[in-house]
């Protein structure tokens, strides 16, 4: 059985590796000419790391990522109200990794070249068209920069792992339009700083109108690389800036709003000032779909369920899709039934995450704290109980599927 995968991102490459391991013939077609280490930090939750562990990737990941120790929440005055262990430190069998998204994609890309063979991975091949004919899929690819047809591939199934602007999704949902924007803009960058800067942990500071998130994505004995995200909501802003992972902006666009966020344990303006390039992009997603599978064609990852980057789920859910897709293709000789079953298993849980993230996912605790203690607190117990804090954290873990210590 030959599977055509459109998109050599995190979901597409993981699917390719898992499918190959299961004995399927796989060909991956990636739009960009060269896979460069684009993006900044992402997190891989333990359930997705379990899948990467099956591919033997955990030792390699451990060399380039940080095994996250804890998640901590603070109000805008830098007062801590919640801390929970993560990954190995919370009793999971595998770590939660914080990692540079581009380095992770490159690791998968190199692994895919070694396992699947360079001859089966095509860069500069942008899926443009496809059709189902006589129990086969025929996919047409162009060189995107010149808009020139370059290749046609025939296979038994087509997986649209082609990201938030998916061509495959657009074909089945031509009237969907642009992604949805809430007025929240994110500024992301990395800052090189001293070793053990945040004690291998992720910190969330502020509220849903203005937030700062930071975590290390690389550490050694002499330095650490901190990934950070500054986030501001402007409800009057209805026109999103174009989602371009390389749109650099001047720090002065958002730095003034964070000038007073200087705490004894973290100087946010200094962290921002010491950063290299800052990238701006809008917080966008799309509505959950009623269907992903159409005959021998299905969607995976951001193409199927683009979600707000809240709760560290984008990459993890794409990896879980890849796992479910492979398991169903192994279990079912009838491709179309396998793809329908894959959709049955993955569509509902991922739709719930998309919707939960619109309500701020686990970060809704930030809003609760802001409403109850806008001027900070002296005694946390007067504001919120430990049980309530735990309940919010547990609820989201359940929705995102990592409540069990896998
Ligand atoms: C350049 C880039 C940088 C990113 N940086 C971050 C980040 O810093 N933090 C974060 O949380 N998330 C980031 N993301 C998103 C994150 O990778 C995804 O949310 C998540 O990993 C799900 O992965 P995916 O494989 O479904 O989608 P993606 O990782 O978006 O991968 C989709 C792939 O499909 C390719 N593609 C698109 N159209 C076609 C086509 N027609 N034919 C063939 N190939 C096509 C794209 O070039 C891309 O490689 C980034 C995505 C990209 C593309």
Give me the CATH number covering residue 315.
3.50.50.60
Distance 386 CA to ligand 1 centre (A): 38
11 contacts: CB under 8 Å, gap ≥ 6: 161, 300, 301, 302, 303, 315, 318, 319, 321, 322
How many structural domains is the chain composed of? 1
pLDDT of residue 139: 98
Pocket of ligand 1 (CB under 6 A): 6-12, 29-32, 38-40, 42, 101, 126-127, 161-163, 167, 245, 301-302, 309, 314-315, 318
Q: Exposed, middle or buried: residue 99 (CB in 10 Å: 0-12, 13-18, 19+)?
A: buried
How many other β-carbons are positioned within 10 Å of the β-carbon of residue 32?
A: 15
Boundaries of domain holding 119? 2-36+103-177+289-358
Sign of the C-alpha dihedral, residues 92, 388, 73, 222? negative
Atom of ligand 1 minimally distant from the CA of 306: 19
User: Percent helix, strand, coil in the chain (nearest 5)?
Assistant: 35, 30, 35
233-286: pLDDT as tens digits: 988 777 776 666 677 889 999 999 999 999 999 999 999 999 999 998 889 999
Domain for residue 129, yes or no? yes
The CA-based dihedral angle spanning residues 348, 351, 356, 359, taken in that order and rounded to the nearest 10 degrees: -140
Lookup result for tokens 């003034």:
256
Q: Is 25 within a domain?
A: yes
* 241 domain-assigned: no
- Is the residue at 116 inside a domain? yes
Q: Is residue 293 part of a domain?
A: yes
Does residue 123 fall inside a structural domain? Answer: yes
Nearest CA to ligand 1 atom 38: 162
**CB–CB of 210/187 below 8 Å?**
no
Q: What is the dihedral of CA 402, 11, 247, 206, to 10 degrees?
A: 0
Shortest-distance Cα residue to atom 11 of ligand 1:
42
Question: For residue 40, what pLDDT is reported?
Answer: 82
Domain membership flag for residue 92: no
pLDDT of residue 243: 64
81 within domain boundaries: no
**Protein residue with least CA distance to atom 49, ligand 1:** 9
The minimum-distance atom of ligand 1 relative to the CA of 40 is: 8
Q: Average pLDDT of each block of 10 consecutive residues along the chain (406 residues)? A: 97 98 98 81 95 97 96 97 95 96 95 97 97 95 92 98 96 94 91 95 96 96 96 82 74 96 97 94 93 98 95 94 98 96 98 93 93 97 95 90 79
Per-residue confidence (pLDDT) for residue 73, from 0 to 100:
97
Tell how far the Cα of 163 is from the centroid of ligand 1, in angstroms. 5
Cβ atoms of 157 and 137 closer than 8 Å = yes
Ligand 1 pocket, mutate which of 314, 321, 350 (most atoms under 8 A from CB): 314
């Amino acid at each position: 059985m030959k599977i055509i995968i459109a998109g050599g991102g995190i979901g597409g490459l993981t699917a390719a590796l898992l499918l190959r391991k299961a004995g399927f013939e796989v060909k991956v077609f990636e739009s960009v000419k060269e896979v460069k280490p684009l993006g900044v930090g992402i997190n891989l939750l333990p359930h997705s790391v379990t899948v990467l562990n099956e591919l033997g990737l955990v030792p390699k990941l451990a060399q380039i990522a940080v095994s996250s120790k804890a998640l901590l929440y603070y109000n805008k005055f830098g007062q801590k109200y919640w801390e929970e262990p993560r990954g190995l430190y919370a009793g999971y069998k595998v770590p939660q990794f914080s990692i540079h998204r581009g380095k992770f994609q490159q690791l998968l890309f190199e692994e895919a070249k070694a396992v699947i063979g360079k001859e089966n991975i095509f860069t500069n091949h942008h899926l443009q068209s496809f059709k189902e004919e006589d129990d086969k899929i025929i996919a047409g690819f162009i060189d995107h920069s010149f808009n020139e047809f370059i290749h046609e591939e025939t296979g038994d199934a087509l997986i649209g792992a082609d990201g938030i602007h998916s061509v495959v999704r657009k074909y089945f949902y031509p009237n969907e339009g642009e992604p949805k924007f809430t007025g929240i803009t994110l500024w992301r960058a990395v800052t090189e700083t001293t070793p053990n800067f945040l004690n291998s942990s992720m910190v969330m500071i502020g509220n849903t109108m203005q937030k700062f998130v930071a975590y290390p994505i690389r550490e050694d004995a002499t330095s650490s690389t901190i990934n950070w995200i500054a986030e501001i909501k402007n409800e009057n802003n209805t026109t999103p800036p174009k989602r371009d992972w390389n749109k650099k902006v001047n720090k002065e666009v958002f730095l003034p709003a964070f000038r007073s966020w200087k705490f004894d344990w973290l100087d946010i303006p200094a962290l921002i000032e010491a950063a290299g390039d800052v990238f701006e992009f809008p917080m966008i997603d799309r509505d959950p779909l009623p269907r992903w599978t159409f005959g021998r064609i299905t969607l995976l990852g951001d193409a199927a369920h683009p979600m707000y980057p809240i709760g560290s789920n984008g990459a993890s859910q794409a990896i879980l899709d890849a796992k479910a897709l492979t398991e169903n293709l192994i279990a079912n000789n009838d491709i179309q039934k396998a793809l329908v079953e894959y959709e049955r298993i993955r569509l509902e849980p991922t739709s719930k995450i998309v919707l939960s993230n619109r309500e701020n996912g686990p970060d809704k605790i930030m809003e609760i704290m802001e409403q109850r203690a806008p001027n900070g607190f002296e005694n946390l117990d007067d504001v919120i109980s430990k049980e309530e804090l735990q309940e919010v954290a547990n609820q989201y873990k359940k929705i995102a599927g990592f409540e069990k210590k896998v």
